[in-house]
Amino acid sequence: MSEAALQLDRVTRLYKEGEGQLEVFRDVSLALKPGELVALVGPSGAGKSSLLHMAGLLEAPSSGEVFIAGRAASRLSDQERTRLRRDTIGFVYQAHHLLPEFTALENVVMPQRIAGKPRTVAEAEATRLLTELGLGARLTHRPAQLSGGEQQRVAIARALANKPRLLLADEPTGNLDPHTSGGVFAALVALVRAEGLSALIATHNLQLAAQMDRALILDNGRLSEGRVPAN
């Protein structure tokens, strides 16, 4: 059996709060199998974003270990973590964070160029992904010329441009209206499955969560597996 794309082994996250500490979560463990889509749900303030930041090597756990594609990350240098994150992980946030002065195509080309891909290769991959996401006719449009749903589709393409093994998404449709949200989420799931990625997707939308392979519930500092109702 292939190694997990992501494994958290008894991770704890504490923040300093005055002279004391705030415990966000404790002894959290999870593993994402290759190709598995998992919803991360829980009340606001439960620590879903912190968990995703830790999984994406943007924050270090207070204790425990994060494994990316079987590789322990805690003892890696900053440079090694950056390289592992760039080569292995894609991120989608609630806000698209597109560069306003660049076209949709250029926004998806940029991370590939930073990773060292030739421009022709990067442009071909960006065109493929954007076309798969229904934006083949919008390649030369800047973000201000795109709808909110189209902007988020560009952000999804950008996250997948360097062919990561793992996608982490934090409320990726949270800023969209219900109709647009459903369309963007369906496009995200279809492309993630087509690319064979593992994905951990935080969402408040239980209808969207119910479409994934399983759900993990973060509440009161603990992570548990649960069934999410479709309505």
Task: Identify the pLDDT of residue 1.
Answer: 41
Residue pLDDT, tens place only, 11-40: 999 888 777 788 888 899 999 998 899 999
pLDDT of 75 strictly over 70: yes
- Who contacts 80 (Cβ-Cβ below 8 Å, separation ≥6)? none
pTM score of the predicted model = 0.90
What is the Cα–Cα distance from 158 to 126, expressed in whole angstroms?
8
- C-alpha distances in Å from residue 39, one per residue of 50, 84, 157, 172, 184: 15, 23, 20, 12, 16
Banded model confidence at residue 230, pLDDT cuts 50, 70, 90: low
Instruction: Give the number of other CB atoms < 10 A from CB of residue 52.
Output: 21
pLDDT of 227 strictly over 80: no
